[in-house]
Structure 1
Amino acid sequence: MALDVTSLLASSQQSPPLEQLLAAYRTQLSRPLDTLKQRQQQLQEQQKLLASLRTTLEALFFSAQSLTLPGAEGNFVTRKTQSSAPDTITATAQKDAVLGSSFVHVDRLARNDTLVSHRLTRTDPFGLSGLYHFELTAAGTTALVAVTLDGTEDTETALRKIATAINTTPTIGVVATVITDTPTTVRLTLTAKQTGTSAAIRFTDTDGLLAALGWSAGMFADPENRTVMTETSAGYQLGRASELNAQLRINGISLIRESNTITDALPGMTLTLLRAQQPTDPDVTLTTTVDVDTAASFLQTILDRYNSALKELNSATKGALKSYPAVRQLLRELRTLVSQQLGTGPLQVLRDIGITIEQDGTLKLSDRSRLERELIAGSERVAALFTSPGGFGERVAALLQDVIGSSGTLRTQWQLVSQRIQNLTGRIRQLESRIEQQVEQYRKEYLKLQQLYSMATAQMGILSNFALLPPGMFNG
């Protein structure tokens, strides 16, 4: 009986390709590998959540810790001052500012001293050459200025060289400016960088250069009778140096200051004078009150960080970290802490300042008016809930220290998870390598069998051809 080689070949061609067979074989071998990878993914998710949780808890920890530092109560003891004429005077208040009103009248603003040269014709030859020195004293400093002239300069060019030399001298207390006051004339002005009599401008004309500008020592010999400039002649803008100082009255008391920014007149307040008033103008009322907005904003920042930590802890205990007892314990302790007594004075619990605990455990400033009343009654009492020993800051910081520290619970757990991931990664790589070796061995065996099959098929074809020959074809 002849072999049906055609049927055999057809059957072979209908079999799955080699790569499909290898893929199926690899899938069968990879079932343990899939289990390891799934566990690796779970651990990576835990690692990610532990890192995120630690970051969130660190933000709360540092906020709580800052409440234990010296001066932390200042974040609650806040003041603000409102001016009835903010175009005339403004004021800022620190925590030690006295609550209430003060009445201010600005008689004169502090001014920068100004010295002006003669009016000189721009194109006239200046007529001096050589190296010139002079000293300028202003704003508490004396500086030596050097100017070189070559004798070819016109007046405007010479003045600009002098101005440049002054302005480029280190520690100089004035600013020099060349002003073209008419189309044909110029003047040099010196303006003190600071206000007040101590910044008044004086000079020493060592080589006679300043005399060419109309300046002489006699101009300021009497500080209260200085030479005053005119439209053409040199002099000071103000004849009396004392008029460089600010003058004001606070609650009827006269004050003189060298600056328009005054920090030592009213306790805890900085006054900024902007405009002088007429004698008949009404006094400006400065009213200092508790700055509820600033205190509430600071308090809300603390609540937000607490709430973020609580929400993330709550989510973690229901998700990838549900098997971590330390996380559940921290959640319970935080929720318990904020419901307990935090102070020993008139204010003892958070609800005393209008903070309530919501159903999910988060904190909410639900009664702002109560917070405002307590801040007005005594900001220090509100601060004590958070900044005093045994208060919110100290207790939260102590609770979190053991959790987020370098040897804390979260750090330890993160390291353990990282080690497990590393171990699993090694096992996965080994198993993947072993699977690929087995698949490659299967490939080689298959190809070898396929080669033998091809050889057998060829031999069967030859035999089939012999079977089809006529009988006796090879007889003698």
Structure 2
Amino acid sequence: MTGISSLGVGSGMKLSDTLTALSSAEKQALVPISKQQSAATAKLSAYGTLKTAIQAFQTANTKLKDAALYTATSTTASSTAFSADTNGKALTGKYTIAVDHLAQSQTLTSAAKTDIKAAIGSDDASRTLKFVTAEGKEKSITLTKDQTSLSAIRDTINKSDAGISASLIKVSSTEYRLSLTSTATGTDHALKSLSVTGDDTLHSFIGFDAADKDHSGMTQSVEAQNASLTVNNVAIVSSSNTITDAVEGITLKLNDQTSGNQTLTVSSDTSKAKTAITEWVTAYNSLQDTMASLTKYTAVDAGADPDSKNGALLGDGTLRNIQTQLKSILANASGSAVYKTLSQAGITTDPTNGQLKLDATKLANALQVKPEAIRDMYTGDGKKTGVTTVLDTTLSTFLSSKGVLQGATDTISKKLNHLTEQYNTASKRIDDKIARYKTQFTNLDKMVSVLNNTSNYLTQQFDNTSSKK
């Protein structure tokens, strides 16, 4: 029997069109599942968008948790010989400062050598360099017989974390000296002694004794020195040029000696707190915009698909719960005895959209007059009270691995997996049914083709018989 190359060719019937129509009809059963998959995928993406917006607000909120922000100060120096940084504990006012001299590091210099790679020590297998500082700290370094040249000593010391920086100084076209400088300034960090055991030759070249400088191999080319200054005519000595504990809340950085007394002015600086609060309001409003977009409702004509117009989280309980908690915190979480609500400090809520409105003038006045009260309103006790404190705890709970967002995401993911299984099962069932239809149509096509051929043959035979008569 001749095979059928294309469905319907043998019979002349439109079996291929019929099979296509049947396939389309069967696949309509997949449409509801596919719609559910699309909705679940959109919801999963929406939760990701919501999480990102909450994280952005959390970042802005974290900045406001810094209690020092609200009592921040700025400094102005009358001389470039020093500068200053302040924290929230610095008191406003003027300070008279005079810098007599800066702290400096000790530097030791060796005798000159013409070959920086030539061994200086003996051929013994090893020797030990021992550093002892004026404050009594010790550090030992072992050198092999191949590590006694100027360059090798330099490299070994620099790798040892001994508190010493080693370098080579070219003093002429043919001569070099080894230079050792304390990495920290001040007399306490100067070397009291540098000795070499196990190699007298190297010791005589690199050894140093602060108590017997004339018989030392190394020469002290720069003497260690502490910084000396006065603040409001009070003498201060420091091993460092950065002084953190002389005046509470102020870090002084000495750059040079001063010519007589100079002035450091510490002033209140509300700009940092105002900027952080403004960014906080902006981040909160951005979060509200995101929520509004995700819960958007748009009326559609009867019979139209509402999912194409509405937000993916319209009517979602998780988002609604987050909104409710945030509104409650903003209304009730003040930790200040002066400012009971945000509105008293210039921040109100727009009842039409839930966004915050900032009265910049009112906020600036409050920060200028009562910065501590603004601080207490936001930070509270730093544990259980204060707007930002309570928000931080709540936002962290939202975003945790066991929080409501993760729970909602996990639920949707499970639903998507179940829908995928449903879709695959239904699709296979439809494919199997269409395959059976195709087999049946193919057999029908062949059968009709055979019957047609038989009919044509018989008709031809009858015609032949009739013509002979």
Normalised by the length of structure 1, the TM-score is 0.76
Once the 2 structures are TM-superposed, how far is the Cα of residue 247 of structure 1 from its aligned partner? 1.4
Which residue number in structure 1 is paired with residue 451 of structure 2? 456
Q: 1:307 aligned to 2:301?
A: no
Which residue number in structure 2 is paired with residue 5 of structure 1? none
Once the 2 structures are TM-superposed, how far is the Cα of residue 424 of structure 1 from its aligned partner? 3.5
Once the 2 structures are TM-superposed, how far is the Cα of residue 256 of structure 1 from its aligned partner? 1.6
Measured at CA, do residues 261 and 430 of structure 1 come closer, stay the same or move farther in structure 2, by a change above 3 Å? same
Query: Which structure has the larger Rg over C-alpha atoms?
Result: 1
Which residue number in structure 1 is paired with residue 238 of structure 2? 257
Correspondent of 2:138 among 139, 142, 166: 142
Once the 2 structures are TM-superposed, how far is the Cα of residue 440 of structure 1 from its aligned partner? 1.8
Once the 2 structures are TM-superposed, how far is the Cα of residue 261 of structure 1 from its aligned partner? 1.0
CA contact (8 A) 1:139 1:173 kept: no
Which residue number in structure 1 is paired with residue 93 of structure 2? 100
Once the 2 structures are TM-superposed, how far is the Cα of residue 208 of structure 1 from its aligned partner? 5.2
Q: 1:88 aligned to 2:81?
A: yes
Q: 1:290 aligned to 2:287?
A: no
Once the 2 structures are TM-superposed, how far is the Cα of residue 212 of structure 1 from its aligned partner? 5.0
- Counterparts of 2:142 and 2:407, CA distance in 1: 70
CA contact (8 A) 1:246 1:258 kept: yes
AA aligned opposite 1:383: R
Q: How does 1:30-49 map to 2 (within 5 A)?
A: 30-49=27-46
CA contact (8 A) 1:163 1:176 kept: yes
Which residue number in structure 1 is paired with residue 221 of structure 2? 237
Correspondent of 2:462 among 454, 467, 472: 467
Q: How does 1:173-184 map to 2 (within 5 A)?
A: 173-184=163-174
Once the 2 structures are TM-superposed, how far is the Cα of residue 461 of structure 1 from its aligned partner? 1.7
Three-state SS of the structure 1 residue aligned to 2:464 is coil
Q: How does 1:17-416 map to 2 (within 5 A)?
A: 18=16, 20-57=17-54, 60=57, 72-85=66-79, 87-118=80-111, 120=112, 122=114, 129=122, 131=124, 135-138=130-133, 140=135, 141-144=137-140, 159-160=150-151, 163=154, 166-167=157-158, 170-203=160-193, 209=201, 212-213=204-205, 217=209, 220=211, 235-238=219-222, 244-277=225-258, 281=259, 283-318=261-296, 319-325=311-317, 327-328=319-320, 330-331=322-323, 334-335=326-327, 337-338=329-330, 342-358=334-350, 360-367=353-360, 369-388=361-380, 389-396=384-391, 410=405, 413-416=408-411
Measured at CA, do residues 421 and 469 of structure 1 come closer, stay the same or move farther in structure 2, by a change above 3 Å? same
Once the 2 structures are TM-superposed, how far is the Cα of residue 308 of structure 1 from its aligned partner? 3.2
Three-state SS of the structure 1 residue aligned to 2:354 is coil
Measured at CA, do residues 66 and 472 of structure 1 come closer, stay the same or move farther in structure 2, by a change above 3 Å? closer
Which residue number in structure 1 is paired with residue 308 of structure 2? none
For structure 2, the residue ranges without an aligned partner over 5 or more in a row are: 1-7, 297-310
Which residue number in structure 1 is paired with residue 423 of structure 2? 428
- Counterparts of 1:401 and 1:174, CA distance in 2: 46
CA contact (8 A) 2:120 2:201 kept: no
Three-state SS of the structure 2 residue aligned to 1:178 is strand
Measured at CA, do residues 467 and 429 of structure 1 come closer, stay the same or move farther in structure 2, by a change above 3 Å? same
Q: 1:443 aligned to 2:424?
A: no
Measured at CA, do residues 167 and 449 of structure 1 come closer, stay the same or move farther in structure 2, by a change above 3 Å? closer
For structure 1, the residue ranges without an aligned partner over 5 or more in a row are: 1-8, 151-156
Once the 2 structures are TM-superposed, how far is the Cα of residue 267 of structure 1 from its aligned partner? 0.7
Three-state SS of the structure 2 residue aligned to 1:136 is strand
Measured at CA, do residues 22 and 117 of structure 1 come closer, stay the same or move farther in structure 2, by a change above 3 Å? same
CA contact (8 A) 2:100 2:257 kept: yes
CA contact (8 A) 1:76 1:379 kept: yes
- Counterparts of 1:234 and 1:273, CA distance in 2: 30
- Counterparts of 1:432 and 1:329, CA distance in 2: 38
* Deviations 1:32-76, CA, capped at 9 Å, x for gaps: 321232133223322332343345446546876897xxx742343
CA contact (8 A) 1:385 1:391 kept: yes
Measured at CA, do residues 255 and 339 of structure 1 come closer, stay the same or move farther in structure 2, by a change above 3 Å? same
- Counterparts of 1:402 and 1:201, CA distance in 2: 54
Once the 2 structures are TM-superposed, how far is the Cα of residue 259 of structure 1 from its aligned partner? 1.0
CA contact (8 A) 2:102 2:226 kept: yes
Measured at CA, do residues 425 and 272 of structure 1 come closer, stay the same or move farther in structure 2, by a change above 3 Å? same
- Counterparts of 1:107 and 1:401, CA distance in 2: 52
Q: Which moved more, 1:426-435 or 1:330-339?
A: 330-339
Once the 2 structures are TM-superposed, how far is the Cα of residue 386 of structure 1 from its aligned partner? 1.4
CA contact (8 A) 1:109 1:260 kept: yes
Three-state SS of the structure 1 residue aligned to 2:295 is helix
Once the 2 structures are TM-superposed, how far is the Cα of residue 387 of structure 1 from its aligned partner? 1.5
Measured at CA, do residues 161 and 35 of structure 1 come closer, stay the same or move farther in structure 2, by a change above 3 Å? closer
Three-state SS of the structure 2 residue aligned to 1:323 is coil
- Counterparts of 2:206 and 2:464, CA distance in 1: 140
Q: Which moved more, 1:33-42 or 1:406-415?
A: 406-415
Measured at CA, do residues 398 and 456 of structure 1 come closer, stay the same or move farther in structure 2, by a change above 3 Å? same
Three-state SS of the structure 2 residue aligned to 1:45 is helix
Measured at CA, do residues 220 and 210 of structure 1 come closer, stay the same or move farther in structure 2, by a change above 3 Å? farther
- Counterparts of 1:375 and 1:393, CA distance in 2: 17
- Counterparts of 1:401 and 1:385, CA distance in 2: 20
CA contact (8 A) 2:241 2:254 kept: yes
CA contact (8 A) 2:68 2:89 kept: no
- Counterparts of 2:141 and 2:315, CA distance in 1: 79
Three-state SS of the structure 1 residue aligned to 2:33 is helix
Three-state SS of the structure 2 residue aligned to 1:195 is coil
Identical residues among aligned pairs (%): 24
- Counterparts of 2:102 and 2:267, CA distance in 1: 27
Once the 2 structures are TM-superposed, how far is the Cα of residue 112 of structure 1 from its aligned partner? 0.8
- Counterparts of 1:421 and 1:128, CA distance in 2: 76
- Counterparts of 2:432 and 2:70, CA distance in 1: 70
Measured at CA, do residues 430 and 91 of structure 1 come closer, stay the same or move farther in structure 2, by a change above 3 Å? same
AA aligned opposite 1:187: R
AA aligned opposite 2:104: R
Measured at CA, do residues 211 and 451 of structure 1 come closer, stay the same or move farther in structure 2, by a change above 3 Å? closer
Count of aligned pairs between the two proteins: 438
